[in-house]
Structures are given as C-alpha cells and as structure tokens.
C-alpha cells in the first residue's frame, strides 16, 4: 500500500496528508476547491518549515514530503490508484454518506474506506456502501502531525483483517492506535465534549470568566490547554455538531449543547478559524498560537 487518498484539505485533511506523505506514502489530496487545496498545501509547507527550523527534519525531508502529495478536485480521478481512502470532510452525516456512496462506486473493490469522523456511526456510514466490511473509522487528533493517538473504530460489519491492517498501518506512520467500539462520540469525544459543554455552561451561568475557567483546569487538573481554548481550536461549530450527534444518539439531556454555544455558532463565532470564539484571534495571535502547537 503506497497510494493513500485523503478527502478534504482542511485542518484535519491536510494534517493527515502531511503525516502520510512524511512517512513516504504517495498521497492524493482531494477537495472540491483549488483554493482549499492550495491553502492546505501552504499549511503543510508552513508546518514543515517549523520542523526544519527546530531541526526535527531536514530541508530535503520537507521537499520530499511535499513531492509526495498530488492534488485533485475530482474524487474519481484522485482515488483511481488508492489502496486506502481517508475521508476528512465536514462532520455531517448526509455529506459523509454521499461521499462514501460515491467512493464505493469509483474505488477498486479491495480499497479500504476510512473516515476521520469524531462522532458519527461507522456502521451507519458503512451501510451506505456495498463494502461495509472494508469501512472503518480512523479518528486522528489535531494537530495530526504532532498528536500520537488514533482512535480505531470498527463498524458492526468491519472485518478483523481490515481492522488489524489499519492498526498496523497506524503504527507504521508513528501513531498509537487504540481500538474502541462504535457508539456516539466513541471514547475521546464522549468524555471531552461533555467537559467542554460544562465549561461553557459554567461561563453561561456566570460562575467564572473565560480565562478563570481555563486557568483552573490548566493549573488544577494539569491540562495543557483550558477547555474553552481547546473548543476554539477544535471549532465551536464542530463541538456543536458532535454534541448534537451524541444527544441524538443517546437521547440523554446531559449531552444537550449549552445555549451559549448554540448562539455563538449562529453568530459565526467558530473559534480560531473564524478569528473569534471565546478568545480573540487576530492574524498575528492566531499565527503565534498555532506555532506554539507545533513547537
């Protein structure tokens, strides 16, 4: 397996492409927009530059990594030779189902289809295809080139062979795979999102301010980043989507998103990517914070 197609050139998609390309896989990065593809490549190049500056890789390593990535705006063309496709599109059930239906039609019969979903049922996604045994979840953490964890989620019909293959592949790209079962939010977000949501509720109820809440969690619980700042980096819209998936999946009110979160997303305050969330992210501040994540 040397050809890996990645669908989506956003934060997660370009990070996944970066990781595979740096491990000498041929990566076909696919997005509907040339602008998004170029932005994704620029992000990869910038992150590689930081690694060169810190002497974690050489300039030759950077150039080789970038040379391993080819871009496409057509799924059919991009996945033509792929042995594995990793979908990293927006966290939306309808969109992911549509993508997997198309992948099932245009990919070779033995191509494995993985999704980077952080909460949506792998069984449900797999049911949109005629190869549910070859559909699996690979939930990478952000920033992908730095974070070691990959949640491996097998659907109801995912085969043992495909699961073991993806576990082994994850290790080959320097990640630590952890197998979890297919329930809303899996493990990472089933624990993380209620904590973030409760932090927002704490702010909403006037118990403390943004910096105070984050400081308590950083100093008192040894978290490297406060939950509100983390929510900004994940994307408040993404947090809302995950909480909605969990609320619908479990029908438990403890997963209902805080009204403050709902209103912030309605107002277009998504966090880092929109320039404003619980914190202000001017261009300079955003660059400084992102740089620290890769230090």
Task: Round to whole Å and give the CA distance between 111 and 124.
Answer: 19
**DSSP percent split of the chain into helix, strand, coil, nearest 5:** 55, 15, 35
Q: Residue 105's pLDDT is what? A: 97
Label residue 16 by pLDDT band (50, 70, 90).
Answer: very high
Annotation marks residue 34 as catalytic: no
Q: Pick the closest to residue 84 from 31, 146, 20, 24 (CA basis).
A: 20
Q: What are the domain boundaries of the chain?
A: 3-181, 189-294
Q: Residue 235's pLDDT is what? A: 94
The token pair that represents 254 in the structure block: 């403890």
Long-range contacts made by residues 137-140, C-beta under 8 angstroms, separation at least 24? 137/182, 137/186, 138/86, 138/114, 138/166, 138/170, 139/186, 139/188, 140/12, 140/15, 140/16, 140/19, 140/116, 140/175
Annotation marks residue 201 as catalytic: no
> At residue 176, what are phi and psi to the nearest 5 degrees?
-110, 105
E strand or H helix at 220, and its extent? helix 210-221
Catalytic residue, candidates 151, 170, 197, 199: 151
220 appears as a binding residue in the annotation: no
Q: Pick the closest to residue 4 from 104, 155, 112 (CA basis).
A: 112
Calculate the average pLDDT of the chain.
95
Angle between helices 188-204 and 236-250 (to 10 degrees): 110
Residue 292 reports pLDDT greater than 80: no
137-160 residue pLDDT tens: 999 999 999 999 999 999 999 999
Q: Read off the pTM.
A: 0.89
- Contact assessment for residue 156 and residue 124, using Cβ atoms and an 8 Å cutoff: no
Catalytic residue, candidates 3, 14, 83, 118: 118
Answer CATH for 189-294 from 3.40.605.10, 1.10.10.10, 1.10.1040.10, 1.10.10.60: 1.10.1040.10
Label residue 282 by pLDDT band (50, 70, 90).
Answer: confident
Which residue has tokens 């033509």?
Answer: 80
Residue 286 reports pLDDT greater than 80: no
Catalytic residue, candidates 18, 68, 83, 139: 139
214 appears as a binding residue in the annotation: no
Task: Round to whole Å and give the CA distance between 188 and 33.
Answer: 30
289 appears as a binding residue in the annotation: no
Which residues on adjacent β-strands are paired with residue 85? 5, 113
Annotation marks residue 139 as catalytic: yes
Residue 295 reports pLDDT greater than 60: no
166-182 residue pLDDT tens: 999 999 999 999 999 99
Label residue 289 by pLDDT band (50, 70, 90).
Answer: low
> Span 127-137, mean pLDDT?
98
Q: Is 137 left (phi over 0), alpha (psi -120 to 50) or beta?
A: beta
Task: Round to whole Å and give the CA distance between 188 and 251.
Answer: 19
64 appears as a binding residue in the annotation: no
What would be the CATH architecture of the domain defined by 3-181? 3-Layer(aba) Sandwich (3.40)
Q: Residue 290's pLDDT is what? A: 54
Residue 74 reports pLDDT greater than 60: yes
> Span 109-122, mean pLDDT?
96
Which residues on adjacent β-strands are paired with residue 276? 271, 280
195-230 residue pLDDT tens: 999 999 999 999 999 999 999 999 999 999 999 999
Q: Pick the closest to residue 232 from 275, 181, 171 (CA basis).
A: 275
30-55 residue pLDDT tens: 999 999 999 999 999 999 999 999 99
Q: Residue 95's pLDDT is what? A: 96
Label residue 5 by pLDDT band (50, 70, 90).
Answer: very high
Task: Round to whole Å and give the CA distance between 221 and 226.
Answer: 10
142 appears as a binding residue in the annotation: yes
Catalytic residue, candidates 3, 68, 170, 189: 189
E strand or H helix at 7, and its extent? strand 3-7
59-71 residue pLDDT tens: 999 999 999 999 9
160 appears as a binding residue in the annotation: no
């Amino acid at each position: 397996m040397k050809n890996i197609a990645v669908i989506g050139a956003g934060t997660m998609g370009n990070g996944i492409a970066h990781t595979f390309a740096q491990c000498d896989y041929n990566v076909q990065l696919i997005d509907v927009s040339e602008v998004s593809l170029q932005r994704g490549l620029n992000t990869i190049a910038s992150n590689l530059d930081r690694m060169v500056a810190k002497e974690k890789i050489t300039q030759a390593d950077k150039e080789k990594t970038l040379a391993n990535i080819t871009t496409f705006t057509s799924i059919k063309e991009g996945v033509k030779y792929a042995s594995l496709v990793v979908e990293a599109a927006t966290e939306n059930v309808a969109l992911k189902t549509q993508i997997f239906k198309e992948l099932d039609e245009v990919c070779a019969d033995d191509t494995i289809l993985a999704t980077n979903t952080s909460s949506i049922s792998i069984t449900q996604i797999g049911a949109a295809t005629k190869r549910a045994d070859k559909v699996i979840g690979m939930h990478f953490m952000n920033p992908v080139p730095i974070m070691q964890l990959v949640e491996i989620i097998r659907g109801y019909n995912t085969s043992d062979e495909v699961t073991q293959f993806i576990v082994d592949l994850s290790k080959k790209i320097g990640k630590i795979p952890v197998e979890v079962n297919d329930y809303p939010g899996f493990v990472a977000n089933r624990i993380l999102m209620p904590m973030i949501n409760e932090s927002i509720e704490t702010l909403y109820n006037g118990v403390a301010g943004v910096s105070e809440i984050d400081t308590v969690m950083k100093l008192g619980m040894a978290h490297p980043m406060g939950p509100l700042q983390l929510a900004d980096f994940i994307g408040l819209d993404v947090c809302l989507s995950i909480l909605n998936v969990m609320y619908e999946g479990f029908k438990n009110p403890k997963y209902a998103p805080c009204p403050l979160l709902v209103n912030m997303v309605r107002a277009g305050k998504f966090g880092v990517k929109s320039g404003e969330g619980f914190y202000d992210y001017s261009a300079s501040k955003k660059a400084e914070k992102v740089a620290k994540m890769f230090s």
